[in-house]
Structure 1
Amino acid sequence: MCDYFEAGRCRSCALIETPYEQQLRDKEARCRELLPGVPERAWLPPVPGGVREFRNKAKLVVGGRPGRVTLGILGPDGAGVDLRDCLIQQPTIRAAIPSLARFIEQSGLPPYDVPKRRGELKFVHVTASPDGELMLRFVVRSERALDVLRTRLPQLRRAIPAAAVVSVNLLPEHKAVLEGEREVPLLGSSLAMDTGAGLALHLRPQSFFQTNTSVARALYAQAAEWIERADPASLWDLYCGVGGFALHSAGAGSARRVLGIEISEEAVRSARRSAREAGIDARFEAGDATAFALGASREDLPEAVIVNPPRRGIGAELAGWLEGAAGIRHVVYSSCNPESLARDLAAMPSFAAREARVFDMFPHTRHMEAAVLLERR
């Protein structure tokens, strides 16, 4: 059990009192209920995410006051709640947080006070790679805070030797978001996330990567197995992020033509570097997934498509396009929202679900990842 939960200081892990095996059963039951078109025999055993030390990223709200900061979440009153000993964080993250707090206190930067709308330091995002390196991203309000952090970079490196990437993100507005558009690098450029199969995905500061590394490895491996079984000559990975699905499904030395489309230019740069270092002949382009698909000529259509959209799903336009693109024989749909997945699959009746699986990316919460292999009837 979690001391923070029992004390009522944090309720983020809403299911922590439910035995973990029951959590898995409930999540799969929910997916089965929402996806009645998936035959019972098609469901593979769910992939567990662990009960502690599974998160590779901590999004820490900086609260408190100068000289006595909190790192954790905001309470109902807008004050900071310190969660530096949260047990769902990977050990390398948890070990670094006390040093990070001391560094912030010594910097003199005032935490941002949400109710009063004043202060400088809003968040620190900490990401851990499997080999123990860290990416630190400070989200600040002004150039003054940027200058302080740049000046104190040597002190930060001494305090946290595992820090391989350090950047500062500018968010001057009072907005309910975790970061702004402008990112200023101070150290390094990317964090190497080893995803198995001899492949490392390079993660830049504004790129997305799944929060549970072991489950991400299983998810990529499952998608790659499905694609290998379908054996398409060409593959598109839409919403490709840093290229995880595309690169695992291509493989070094493969003749398969692979193209990844992602709206984030930072993520595309990461994917290109990963492909280059792994010797994988895959292309990655920055663009909107739906616009790219709708603008493609019939001659350019692939035989298979992987989609991994945000929570809203791929939407009616892209689902309708996939439904009507007769040359596309297989779709692998990875979703973090079974409700939007159900809506999208209902708009694609020409595809039958051959296999499906729940990946528990977010233990102790109601969130999950579900992946489905679809084949045109």
Structure 2
Amino acid sequence: MQCDYFDRGRCRSCTFMGMPYAAQLASKQERCAAALAGVAPALTWLAAVAGPDSAFRNKAKLVIAGRAGAVTLGILDHAGRGVDLRECGLYEPGLTRTFPVLADLIDSLRLEPYDVAARRGQLKHLIVTHSPDDELMIRFVLRTAHEIPRIRKALPRLVEALPGIAVVSVNLQPEPKAILEGETELVLTERSTLPMRVNDVVLGLRPNSFFQTNTAVAAALYRQAREWVEDRSPGSVWDLYCGVGGFALHVAGPGRVVVGIELAPDAVDSAVASASDLRGQHPDLGPIRFATADATAQVGADLAGVDLVIVNPPRRGIGPDLAGRLEESDVRDVVYSSCNVDSLARDLAAMPSFRAHEARLFDMFPQSNHHEVMVRLHRT
């Protein structure tokens, strides 16, 4: 992939830009294998899964800068000035086509971009998500609710310009901090959920919910988890840090009890709705339940009788407490999906009764050194 922004020094976010894609994959594979070599010496690595090395991102998180009537959509440079990246080659075409429309709308409404240094202005970020069915979720991140009436009034014009819009919301982030969004979310459209079709499952994505940024590679990740689970034929599966239910719904099956645990209530609501839709298509599925809880802190004795556990934690990993509870449990199998191989290695070291048999790199993030790796564990 060639990038004018990178070549001109305007954006250096993509640390692997200019490196041949095969070399990028090899570098990540070597990095992950080296990190796990000490805790999983007999690990078999399956061939890395890669998708397109450009036009793969389904979500854009854009900093709004410049001035009212002449905004930039992109990032801030080292001096806090806006760098417009609306032609960035990482985004799916369905995202790229929205950027000029959104910029024109912001300019026409004279929405004032937030000035970080002066702590003045209203519009901080735009977060835009594109679905496999060419639908859109658009979120305006504002400092206060002052501009909501103007955005609400402009909705018909926005929907006319972008007919694929499913959800529009406003997030309020009043803090003068470098955080993307706040706790308050106001949905302005009748629909509040963006359907994300992945393989044969439709996941409901609400504004605050997490979803993998690379839909094609996420689909392969879920297929691999399903294959590993089916190989063990467990009667019960727990999906910890389940989000909107991607793993849980992919591994559900006749005669199998599936439980998903997630801290975010909106994500749990979405997972419950998706499970209901899936059961409508497959009435023979076993029980599928979702609960709002902190998997790291609260999952303990409840693991009694669970055959297989899937974990997909944040970068910090599952940590010593949960790793210890898995180690002490009767769980026979674990499928661990990780975006940080270093925390994965620490967690595997804390579970010596489990042997890591197979692993696979899933390249969610071409042009960067970020990685997603999934490991299959059996109790020895």
TM-score band w.r.t. shorter chain: over 0.9
Instruction: Measure, in 2, the Cα distance between the counterparts of 1:148 and 1:173.
Output: 22
Instruction: Measure, in 2, the Cα distance between the counterparts of 1:363 and 1:51.
Output: 5
Q: 1:301 Cα shift?
A: 3.8
Aligned to 2:22: 21
Residues 64 and 113, structure 2, Cα contact 8 Å, conserved in 1: yes
Q: Which amino acid aligns with 2:29?
A: E
Q: Which amino acid aligns with 1:302?
A: V
Q: Which amino acid aligns with 2:168?
A: V
Q: Identity of paired residues, percent? A: 56
Instruction: Measure, in 2, the Cα distance between the counterparts of 1:162 and 1:232.
Output: 40
Deviations 1:229-256 (A, max 9, x none): 11111110000000000000114xx111
What is the correspondence of 1:241-320 to structure 2 with a 5 Å cutoff? 241-251=243-253, 254-279=254-279, 280=285, 281-294=287-300, 296-297=301-302, 300-320=304-324
Q: 1:292 Cα shift?
A: 2.7
Instruction: Measure, in 1, the Cα distance between the counterparts of 2:147 and 2:235.
Output: 51
Residues 80 and 117, structure 2, Cα contact 8 Å, conserved in 1: yes
| Segment drifting more, 34-43 vs 254-263 | 34-43
Instruction: Measure, in 2, the Cα distance between the counterparts of 1:228 and 1:38.
Output: 23
SS of 2:96's equivalent in the other structure is: helix
Instruction: Measure, in 2, the Cα distance between the counterparts of 1:146 and 1:335.
Output: 38
Alpha carbon RMSD of aligned pairs, Å?
A: 1.1
Q: 2:183 aligns with which of 181, 191, 208?
A: 181
Q: 1:195 aligns with which of 189, 195, 198?
A: 198
Residues 194 and 200, structure 1, Cα contact 8 Å, conserved in 2: yes
Deviations 1:173-210 (A, max 9, x none): 111111000000011111111111x2111101000000
Superposed structure 1 runs of 4+ greater than 4 Å apart? none
Residues 38 and 356, structure 1, Cα contact 8 Å, conserved in 2: no
TM normalised by structure 1 equals 0.96
Residues 25 and 48, structure 2, Cα contact 8 Å, conserved in 1: yes
What is the correspondence of 1:117-128 to structure 2 with a 5 Å cutoff? 117-128=119-130
| Segment drifting more, 32-41 vs 67-76 | 32-41
Residues 361 and 372, structure 2, Cα contact 8 Å, conserved in 1: yes
SS of 2:10's equivalent in the other structure is: coil
Aligned to 1:155: 157
SS of 1:135's equivalent in the other structure is: strand
Residues 63 and 74, structure 2, Cα contact 8 Å, conserved in 1: yes
What is the correspondence of 1:206-225 to structure 2 with a 5 Å cutoff? 206-225=208-227
Residues 121 and 143, structure 2, Cα contact 8 Å, conserved in 1: yes
Residue segments in structure 2 that go unaligned for 5+ positions in a row? 280-284
SS of 2:188's equivalent in the other structure is: strand
Aligned to 2:282: none
Instruction: Measure, in 1, the Cα distance between the counterparts of 2:271 and 2:218.
Output: 16
SS of 2:157's equivalent in the other structure is: helix
TM normalised by structure 2 equals 0.96
Instruction: Measure, in 1, the Cα distance between the counterparts of 2:36 and 2:94.
Output: 38
Instruction: Measure, in 1, the Cα distance between the counterparts of 2:217 and 2:40.
Output: 22
Distance 1:8 1:40, change over 3 A: farther
Distance 1:41 1:236, change over 3 A: closer
Aligned to 2:61: 59
Asked if 1:89 is matched to 2:91, the reply is yes
Distance 1:301 1:74, change over 3 A: farther
Q: 1:41 Cα shift?
A: 6.0
Q: How many residues align?
A: 371
Q: 1:367 Cα shift?
A: 0.4
